[in-house]
Amino acid sequence: MFKLFSKTDLKLSFWKWFSKREYEFYTGFEDNKEEYMAEISRRLHELDENLTYEIGTVNADGQREFIISADGIADSFETVEMLCGKAPVYSNWIIIPFRPRMNSDSIQIDMGDVSLSYEDIYFSYESNGQVLDLNVYIRNYDQNDGCYQFAYFILLDSLIGEYDAVSKIGNTRFELLTAIHKSRALPFVKLRGIVDGLIV
């Protein structure tokens, strides 16, 4: 007879497994990165195939960040929230739900032949007070090269955080940045303040 496990049981099972290995992961991550990343990914995908994660270097307090992400997919947000909500407190780890904002006004992503930074992006928007629809203007944008949009969404997560990027941004339309756009549109970093002004 098969035993049915609830979502809560599975999440607790993940942390039980992680707790047994957390010191190993903490001390040996750089030396065994590919092996450990594959193993953690497999365990997370047992909960939700959309889950992804990032593990940081050891910070000044002697801890690593373990960021668990829904990879920008709203249907998996609940899984991330429930999983992180069940996490134990670790002395070696900080468990963070969703990709957080980066405390920087200048970040660059290099992907293939595409190099994209905050300074390469401008935008205009329409708002209903809760969600923004964006027109995004990107320097050297080529609609046939998917790296531009992929790099943009990574920068968006870095600027406003994954949760706000999904919950507060509606439709997005991409165009090549021109001199006219640059004179009339807003620099990308201004998006952070506009998002923070929306009704929660």
Q: Give the start-to-end residue ranges of the domains of the chain.
A: 7-97, 108-196
> How crowded is residue 88: how many other Cβ atoms within 10 Å of its Cβ?
12
Residue 172 is encoded by which pair of tokens? 């997005």
Contacts of 105 (CB under 8 A, 6+ apart): 118, 189
| Predicted local distance difference test score (pLDDT) of residue 164 | 96
| Predicted local distance difference test score (pLDDT) of residue 10 | 60
Q: What is the pLDDT along the chain (200 residues), one digit of tens a residue?
A: 434 345 666 677 999 999 999 999 999 999 999 999 999 999 999 999 999 999 999 999 999 999 999 999 999 999 999 999 999 999 999 999 999 999 888 899 998 889 999 999 999 999 998 999 999 999 999 999 999 999 999 999 999 999 999 999 999 999 999 999 999 999 999 999 999 998 76
| Predicted local distance difference test score (pLDDT) of residue 179 | 96
Helix (H) / strand (E) containing 134: strand 132-138
CB 43 within 8 A of CB 63: no
Closest by CA position to 51, among listed 59, 60, 42: 42
Closest by CA position to 160, among listed 112, 194, 137, 115: 194
| Predicted local distance difference test score (pLDDT) of residue 6 | 53
CB 147 within 8 A of CB 113: yes
- 3-class state of residue 79 by DSSP: helix
Helix (H) / strand (E) containing 66: strand 64-69
| Predicted local distance difference test score (pLDDT) of residue 104 | 84
pTM for this structure?
0.84
CB 68 within 8 A of CB 83: yes
Query: How many Å is the Cα radius of gyration of the chain?
Result: 19
Contacts of 91 (CB under 8 A, 6+ apart): 63
